[in-house]
A and B are shown apart, each in its own frame.
Chain A
Amino acid sequence: MTQNFRLESGGLINRSKKISFKFNGKNYFGYEGDTLASALIANGVHLIGRSFKYHRPRGFFGAGVDEPYAIVQLYRNGETEPNIKATEQELFEGLEAKSVNCWPSVNFDVGAINNFLKIFLPAGFYYKTFMWPKSFWYKIYEPFIRKAAGLGTASIKHDKERYEHKYEYCDLLITGSGPSGLASAYSAAKNGAKVILAEDKSRFGGTLLTSDVNIGNQSGKEWADSIVSELKEMSNVTIKNRSQVFGYYDHNMLVMSERISDHLPKTKKYHPKQKLWYIRAKEVLISSGSIERPIVFGNNDTPGVMLSSAAKEYMKVYGVLVGKKPLVFTNNDSGYETAIEFKKNGINPIILDTRKEPRSEIIDEAKNMNINIKNSYVVVAAQGYKKVKSADIAKISDDKEKLGSIENIDCDCICVSGFWTPTIHLASQSGNKTKFKEEIDAFVPGISKQNEKTLGAANGIFTLEETLKDSFEQGNRLSKKITNNDNKVSFPNVVEKKSAVHDKFWCVPLPKGKNYKRFLDFQNDVAVSDIEIALKEGYRSIEHVKRYTTLGMATDQGKTSNLNGLQLVSKIENKVVPAVGHTTFRPPYTPVSIGAIVGREVGKHSKPTRKSPMHSWHEKNNAVFVDAGVWLRPRYYKRGDENLFEASKREAKNVRTNVGVCDVTTLGKIDIKGPDAAELLNRVYTNAWLKLPVGKARYGVMLREDGIVMDDGTTTRISENHYHMTTTTAQAANVLSHLEYYLQLVWPELNVNVVSTTEQWAGAAIAGPKSRDVLKKLFPKSDVTNEGLPFMGYIEGDLFGVKAKIFRISFSGELAYEVNVESDYGYYMWEKIIEIGEEFGIQPYGTEALSTLRIEMGHVAGSELDGRTIPYDNSLEGLLSKKKDFIGKRSLTRKAFAAEDRQKIVGVVPLDKKTSIPEGSHLVKDSNAPLPNPKLGYISASCWSVEHDNPFSLAILKDGKNMIGKKLFVMSPLKNKVIPVEIVSSHYVDPKGERVRS
């Protein structure tokens, strides 16, 4: 394969290292240092894809981040990635890429029929057309549109690459390593400031790599290289290539994505693919440069039409010709630089300049080189389908309204320059109020809101000397403020050619009788005619025009289309551009891979997994685990072929008849100490706490200030000024914050300290009629009789050498104890309990059996304390002290909370005693009532009662107090079930609570 468009020499590529790659199944080669784009152009490939809407052929338009066309599907190391810009993707050995948005191939694309139907696909086409009939949307329209549109396919496989996040702090963050970035970084670094310099491309230097200038008797590139190598040596400087600062957030925080491995065939072992940097900078210098603006003309999207600066970059950086018969179409001097570069490489360009009689050094140089220059000329339309073959050109009148007679000239590329647009995205994201700069027809940053300053071309300064002067000075000034050093850098001698003013011309009128598509937004196929329709249909705000036509909404975010769109709207509306205003710039500046945003927080790393000290025992004993918040808890212990239902029934039954043991380590535990501890408890709990004796536990309910139940649990008085509070697993963190809030802000006079001890204690609940027998053997030295350790009693015991806390509390409703030991002894405790309990038939039980036991006992838990219920609703009104005030008490006097027919917890049993009741079902009076059927309540929790051997549920039911004995229906439209039920007491087992006291 020969590279017909590669220059004999020149460029910054490494010609000694060939790299082979595949595009659309065909083999090509390029050189180290190429991008996929430059390598394809060198091979004469200009047809890259098809456009979004009309499926028109697409080639290359730019040479970097501004590229709207050349989007490919990339295959690397067995993985695939969509939305890769060929102009940014560096070539690596074995790279494979394919065209997107075309079928069956880029050369013959069936969707291209849209191009001939384009008259039927105007702005808002999808909104207007696919409305009726409604049922067609899901089945026909949407799948069809999805197949036809889109820029590639996301992989559905798990991304095995590693992505990392990094938090960094610096004095100055400088975004872009062109002349302004290098100069400001250099002077700031000399002052000893901590500097981060970020460059999006692989090479540092920005426009210095391609412009014909001299700085301090060196070429621009030599100067850039020397500054970069000096910066790299400085310990206070971090200099990063392939790193795009894409977002400017509050309080001077910026986010940068560093592409560490994307340019390699395979990510190195232990290396991330990409790294996301969260950078908090004291000062930010935005040196992001500018992007060349296209001029709008007929068929200006034909492959071979591209930005003149890109053509120059391909020659100077990659040694590649974008064409051999180039036409340069320009309204300013930049086009001349490109033409001169062509000429230097033995190619004869033709310049069409919209200006009548421009004079400048650059123009003189072009003239001296005998370049064919046509003044007051424009390209009316590009001709050719898959590649430019010729151009229709014409003279244009001085008022730019009338075209002369049309001539057709041969060319194979059209290099366009419509002047420059400062890249103000970051400044705008920071909150900077941008202003319109008349001389350059573009917006530039105005008044800063955060500590940000924009330099050079990004600030609308297009001469090198002025840029460098300003940048050296700003770098020095801002760093001096931080470090108090003032090491002035001597200003180098700058040689550059002066430019003539540009022509404020941006759109070629249509010749009579022709209706060429003139594109504004190349990625979303938005043409001049689309904007005209939108305005005709009454859209006025630029934000609405944008959304209706999708102008600037593609992945390139209108980098090349934004200003021309504004110019058009302002022209039609007869307003000045600043009056139209620009749309909001939002991060990210360029697409960022989801992997980089997620970082290491994937799978099990997305949140911590908390395991109890007994976890490995559970694993060894066939526990099936369930996520309880971030905890992993045994749901049941599988024996043989048992399923969840059978196992949990066995475990629960065993608690009711023998004894079971449950891992309750996950319960929240808060240690409370201080002389005012009792007073604190008395204020946060609804019941009385001042007289709780040492060695006793009490059940308590705490409310929010609005009267809603927040949490429940037992708190034990360990010693005079020391309490041990337990909370539910889910509310542990909230309860601690709640207590801290009142102690720090509301009642700072209380002398109390609270601290979480959840992870310090391992807990085992031993429950069942034989639990005391187990306890006796577990603590032979302690008195655990009903008298020695009564219900709600607390003692400390010696568990074969380990200090243990023994609480006689019960969630299951059986005679039960909870034993706590320091976490490190949890496993030891558990094994001892199992060993000693064996003769009494002990079995471990999981959360499913735990739920069954508490449901049939009518004990409330998270599904009843769901943030919508007050104590009365849960039949906890007996715990409301009348003698004292507590948090939330005043709210309970609200009318709705005191209503006679208020919702209340009840039990629900199916009449057939067989059909299980889905949780979340509704309770209704009449199952055949017309919709909406009035809802009386809902099922909060369901189980299979092991005591009665039939289904049993808890429900929160309107006027529950008076509903006992009534017959209602449970309806679950989701499960398509209607179940006749009877309402019973929520205490389905041992309603008098005798067992816990036995």
Chain B
Amino acid sequence: MLYIKCPHCGMRSQNEFSYGGDATIKRPELGKEISDQDWDNFVYNRKSLRGKHWELWQHISGCRQWIKVERDTATHEIFNTLKANEEISL
């Protein structure tokens, strides 16, 4: 079971969190024209990366905040966690 540092609550076990997918995906602005391809990329197309990956988790059984977690998908090593409003520096 992973041990995740919630930026608001501290180190907590994985079973307090729920996984939320790729954290680098940006939702297109509302009302803006967008090509089919770009929309598909936003909704469906995800890379299944092996290695370092920024992803979203929600601390559902804790502070209910969505957080950003930098994790290695192969080794499960967690390098960094950020609050929802903190920018990822890639």
Q: Contact residues of A with B, CB < 8 Å?
A: 167, 249-253, 278, 280, 431, 449, 683, 705-706, 737, 740-741, 744-746, 748, 884-886, 890-891, 894
Mask of B33-59 contacts with A, CB within 8 angstroms, 1/0: 010100100111000000000001010
- Tell me if A251 and B20 are in contact (CB < 8 A): no
Please give the distance in Å from B73's CB to the nearest CB on chain A: 12
CB neighbours (8 Å) of B66 from chain A are 740-741, 744-745
- Tell me if A431 and B75 are in contact (CB < 8 A): yes
Max chain B C-beta neighbours (<10 A), residue from A251, A253, A745: A745
A-B contact pairs, 25 of them (CB 8 A): A249-B1, A250-B1, A250-B76, A251-B1, A251-B3, A251-B78, A253-B3, A253-B13, A280-B3, A431-B75, A705-B27, A705-B43, A737-B18, A740-B66, A741-B20, A741-B66, A744-B66, A744-B84, A744-B85, A745-B56, A745-B84, A748-B84, A748-B85, A885-B31, A894-B36
- Tell me if B27 and A250 are in contact (CB < 8 A): no
Bound-state Cα–Cα, A737 to B64, Å: 8
- Tell me if B65 and A744 are in contact (CB < 8 A): yes
- Tell me if B34 and A253 are in contact (CB < 8 A): no
Bound-state Cα–Cα, A744 to B2, Å: 23
Bound-state Cα–Cα, A249 to B60, Å: 23
Bound-state Cα–Cα, A890 to B56, Å: 23
CB neighbours (8 Å) of B60 from chain A are 737
* Residue B30 lies at the interface, judged by CB distance under 8 Å to chain A: yes
CB within 8 A of A890: which of B39, B65, B85? B39
CB neighbours (8 Å) of B18 from chain A are 737
- Tell me if B84 and A250 are in contact (CB < 8 A): no
Please give the distance in Å from B2's CB to the nearest CB on chain A: 5
- Tell me if B58 and A891 are in contact (CB < 8 A): no
Bound-state Cα–Cα, A891 to B42, Å: 11
- Tell me if B39 and A250 are in contact (CB < 8 A): no
CB neighbours (8 Å) of A250 from chain B are 1-3, 76
- Tell me if A253 and B1 are in contact (CB < 8 A): yes
Mask of B1-21 contacts with A, CB within 8 angstroms, 1/0: 111000000000100001010
CB neighbours (8 Å) of A737 from chain B are 18, 58, 60
- Tell me if B64 and A740 are in contact (CB < 8 A): yes
Interface residue total, chain B, C-beta cutoff 8 A: 27
- Tell me if A740 and B43 are in contact (CB < 8 A): no
Known: A280-B13, A737-B60. A885 touches B76 (CB 8 A): no
Bound-state Cα–Cα, A449 to B39, Å: 40
Residue of A nearest to B23 (CB): A745
**Beyond A251-B2, A251-B76, A745-B84: 6 further Cβ-contacts under 8 Å?**
A250-B3, A705-B42, A744-B65, A745-B56, A890-B28, A891-B39
CB neighbours (8 Å) of B64 from chain A are 740
Bound-state Cα–Cα, A986 to B16, Å: 43
Bound-state Cα–Cα, A169 to B36, Å: 50
Bound-state Cα–Cα, A733 to B39, Å: 27
Bound-state Cα–Cα, A7 to B13, Å: 52
CB neighbours (8 Å) of A280 from chain B are 3, 13
- Tell me if A449 and B75 are in contact (CB < 8 A): yes
CB neighbours (8 Å) of A745 from chain B are 56, 66, 84
- Tell me if B31 and A884 are in contact (CB < 8 A): yes
- Tell me if B30 and A741 are in contact (CB < 8 A): no
Residue of B nearest to A683 (CB): B30
Bound-state Cα–Cα, A890 to B44, Å: 13
CB neighbours (8 Å) of B78 from chain A are 251
Residue of B nearest to A250 (CB): B76
Known: A249-B1, A744-B84. A706 touches B43 (CB 8 A): yes
Bound-state Cα–Cα, A748 to B78, Å: 25
Please give the distance in Å from B22's CB to the nearest CB on chain A: 12
Residue of B nearest to A748 (CB): B85
4 residue pairs, one from A and one from B, having the closest CB atoms: A251-B3, A744-B84, A885-B31, A885-B30
Bound-state Cα–Cα, A352 to B75, Å: 48
Max chain B C-beta neighbours (<10 A), residue from A167, A251, A253, A706: A251
- Tell me if B58 and A278 are in contact (CB < 8 A): no
Bound-state Cα–Cα, A593 to B85, Å: 45
Please give the distance in Å from B40's CB to the nearest CB on chain A: 9
Please give the distance in Å from B36's CB to the nearest CB on chain A: 8
- Tell me if B1 and A890 are in contact (CB < 8 A): no
Max chain A C-beta neighbours (<10 A), residue from B20, B58, B66: B66
CB within 8 A of B44: which of A249, A253, A706, A746? A706
Please give the distance in Å from A687's CB to the nearest CB on chain B: 15
Please give the distance in Å from A750's CB to the nearest CB on chain B: 11
- Tell me if A252 and B43 are in contact (CB < 8 A): no
Residue of A nearest to B30 (CB): A885
Please give the distance in Å from B32's CB to the nearest CB on chain A: 8
Bound-state Cα–Cα, A706 to B43, Å: 6
Please give the distance in Å from B69's CB to the nearest CB on chain A: 12
Residue of B nearest to A251 (CB): B3
Bound-state Cα–Cα, A745 to B18, Å: 15
Please give the distance in Å from A232's CB to the nearest CB on chain B: 29
Bound-state Cα–Cα, A449 to B72, Å: 13
Please give the distance in Å from B38's CB to the nearest CB on chain A: 10
CB neighbours (8 Å) of A891 from chain B are 39, 43
Residue of A nearest to B76 (CB): A250
Max chain B C-beta neighbours (<10 A), residue from A167, A253, A884, A886: A253
CB neighbours (8 Å) of B85 from chain A are 744, 748
Bound-state Cα–Cα, A745 to B84, Å: 6
CB neighbours (8 Å) of A894 from chain B are 36
CB neighbours (8 Å) of A890 from chain B are 28, 34, 39
Mask of B76-87 contacts with A, CB within 8 angstroms, 1/0: 101000001100
CB neighbours (8 Å) of B34 from chain A are 890
Bound-state Cα–Cα, A746 to B20, Å: 13
Bound-state Cα–Cα, A437 to B55, Å: 40
Residue of A nearest to B42 (CB): A705
Please give the distance in Å from A244's CB to the nearest CB on chain B: 19
CB neighbours (8 Å) of B28 from chain A are 890
Bound-state Cα–Cα, A191 to B4, Å: 28
Bound-state Cα–Cα, A449 to B76, Å: 11
Bound-state Cα–Cα, A851 to B66, Å: 36
Bound-state Cα–Cα, A731 to B26, Å: 25
Bound-state Cα–Cα, A252 to B39, Å: 41
Residue of A nearest to B68 (CB): A745
Bound-state Cα–Cα, A278 to B3, Å: 12
CB neighbours (8 Å) of A705 from chain B are 27, 42-43
CB neighbours (8 Å) of B75 from chain A are 431, 449
Bound-state Cα–Cα, A278 to B15, Å: 12
CB neighbours (8 Å) of A249 from chain B are 1
Max chain B C-beta neighbours (<10 A), residue from A740, A748, A890: A890
Residue of B nearest to A252 (CB): B3
Bound-state Cα–Cα, A706 to B46, Å: 14
CB neighbours (8 Å) of A884 from chain B are 31
Max chain B C-beta neighbours (<10 A), residue from A250, A278, A706: A250
Bound-state Cα–Cα, A737 to B13, Å: 19
Please give the distance in Å from A128's CB to the nearest CB on chain B: 38
Bound-state Cα–Cα, A886 to B31, Å: 8
CB neighbours (8 Å) of A886 from chain B are 30
CB neighbours (8 Å) of B76 from chain A are 250-251
